[in-house]
Chains A and B, each alone.
Chain A
Amino acid sequence: MIAMKRVAFAIACVGLAMGAAPAWAHHSFAAEFDANKPIKLHGVVTKMDWINPHSWIHIDVKGDDGKVVNWMIECGSPNTMFRHGLTKDSLPVGTEINVDGYLAKDGENKANGRDVTLADGRKLFLGSSNPDADK
């Protein structure tokens, strides 16, 4: 039994050690966004670009001075997002969202959309992989 437990443990560790496919975007997000500049944004969706290779959410963000600035938030591949259940109706114009990401290095108003939370607390990009319902 001890040996069998060891096998199970080894299998579990294997799962931890490596996935099947390299899990990175088509380009390096670390090259595009600054790890030293975390940013939190609260804004209202003005547009959603379902474009390749990555989708972008456009939001209007009101600053402390009352001035409204448009920001672009980079998301995943549109094919993948669609297969995970996101559609053009998922983020209608006017939707309030919170973004917890990092500022673009090019100095423009862009951030990565690693964590996007809706006003009711639902996490947009925290879907789960259900082994019983293959995508």
Chain B
Amino acid sequence: MTRRWLSTLVFLASAPVFAQNAPRDNSWTAPRLPDGHPDLQGIWTNKTITPLERPAALGNKAFFTEEEVRAFTKTALDRGNKDQRGGGVRDVLNAYNAFWWDSGTKVLPNMRTSIVVDPPDGRIPPLTPQRQAQLQEEALAVKVRCQRPGCAIANSGQLSPADKPEELDLMTRCISFGTVVPMLPSAYNNDYQIVQGPGVVAIDTEMVHEVRRIPTDGSAHLPANVREWIGDPRGHWEGDTLVVDSTNFTGKTRRGMDQNLHLIERFTRVGPDTLLYQFTVDDPTAYTKSWSGEIPMSKTDGLLYEYACHEGNIGMRDIIVAAQADEKKAAEQAAGKK
């Protein structure tokens, strides 16, 4: 294929896409609240099959064509519905079909090939050498620990300590799924309810019903020694956009990001059924450069269900009992040999 043909193909591929990349309807004005700010209230969903990072095979191709969307969607959905059994641990760990998940059936309406929009390759920048070394050190400590009994196979497929609750990951303990830092889609429970009041905006996240209370009264961040699981958010309005600046993180909620994370988010209602969510992850001790993403969230008529994760967390109890039994059995065997 000649370079000219290639250019034509790229142009044809891009032209309709940019039109769709602009979900803003200029003839539409967001409804206002009595304080004059746009009304962002409602239940919004970010579920999508669009990947967070652009697959390396797509290089700098930022947008799908219509035809590519059809191919990508069919393959992704077929994969989700396929029987994933392959024998052994795989059967138990992840052989569950689409009925178990609710991550949507469509790519994002902006037709982007990834949620990450910057860097231009659509991929999260590498971690800093210092952060990589920290994570490797943590992984090595786990590996050494798990040469002894009392460990279990985590969701990652790797062995992880499991003989007491404190050793289990935050998801298993129902503390946080890390889906609000930033607000990224997960396998299910991808709904968010926004409520606005005087001097405050609240976002109720269906996943583990984490609530972000965002003061918009001009107050300063908490002192640096106060750390919160999902950070300390402060909001202000820039025109019709709610800008949320979050600091004071623990560094424990999403792998990679550390306690120096500075998250900047922008919420703009660009149509009756579309809330444009943009975010920038600024964490110079964790990432070699900052990175940004974009999700046009869709309004949903559905209800936000309470995901009271502690209600019946039988699985966590079962994991601990199994790991403790494993330890006890090993100890008895060791005693028998003496």
Enumerate chain A interface residues (CB-CB to B < 8 A): 2-4, 7-8, 10-35, 38, 49, 51-54, 56, 72, 74, 76-84, 102, 104-108, 110, 112, 114, 125-131, 134-135
Judged by a CB distance under 8 angstroms, whether B21 is at the interface is no
Judged by a CB distance under 8 angstroms, whether B1 is at the interface is yes
Name the segment of B32-40, B68-76, B274-282 touching the other chain: B68-76
* Contact partners of A4 in chain B: CB under 8 A: 9
* Contact partners of B302 in chain A: CB under 8 A: 83
Enumerate chain B interface residues (CB-CB to A < 8 A): 1, 5-6, 9, 47-52, 55, 57-58, 64, 67-68, 71-81, 88-106, 152-155, 157, 162, 168, 171-172, 174, 177, 185-190, 206, 302, 305-316, 318-319, 321-323, 325-326
* Contact partners of B105 in chain A: CB under 8 A: 129-131, 134-135
In the complex, are the beta carbons of B152 and A30 less than 8 A apart? yes
CA of A14 to CA of B113 in the docked complex: distance in angstroms? Answer: 10
Q: Once A and B bind, how many residue pairs between them come within 8 Å at the CB atom?
A: 239
CA of A17 to CA of B55 in the docked complex: distance in angstroms? Answer: 8
In the complex, are the beta carbons of B72 and A14 less than 8 A apart? yes
In the complex, are the beta carbons of A114 and B187 less than 8 A apart? no
CA of A29 to CA of B233 in the docked complex: distance in angstroms? Answer: 34
CA of A98 to CA of B172 in the docked complex: distance in angstroms? Answer: 28
CA of A84 to CA of B75 in the docked complex: distance in angstroms? Answer: 21
* Contact partners of B71 in chain A: CB under 8 A: 8, 11-12, 15
**CB-based nearest A residue for B107:** A20
In the complex, are the beta carbons of A19 and B80 less than 8 A apart? yes
In the complex, are the beta carbons of A129 and B312 less than 8 A apart? no
Q: A30-B89, A53-B174 are in contact. List 12 more A-B contacts (CB 8 A).
A: A14-B57, A15-B74, A15-B75, A15-B79, A18-B51, A20-B50, A35-B88, A51-B312, A52-B307, A52-B308, A52-B312, A104-B322
Min CB–CB distance A40 → chain B (angstroms) = 13
In the complex, are the beta carbons of B315 and A3 less than 8 A apart? no
CA of A4 to CA of B9 in the docked complex: distance in angstroms? Answer: 9
A128 and B98 contact, Cβ closer than 8 Å, known pairs A80-B188, A104-B322: yes
Min CB–CB distance A130 → chain B (angstroms) = 7
In the complex, are the beta carbons of A24 and B155 less than 8 A apart? yes
In the complex, are the beta carbons of A105 and B102 less than 8 A apart? no
CA of A51 to CA of B92 in the docked complex: distance in angstroms? Answer: 21
In the complex, are the beta carbons of A125 and B322 less than 8 A apart? no
* Contact partners of B47 in chain A: CB under 8 A: 21
In the complex, are the beta carbons of A26 and B101 less than 8 A apart? no
Q: Which of B186, B190, B316 contacts A22 (CB 8 A)?
A: B186
In the complex, are the beta carbons of B188 and A28 less than 8 A apart? no
* Contact partners of A21 in chain B: CB under 8 A: 47, 101, 103, 185-187, 190
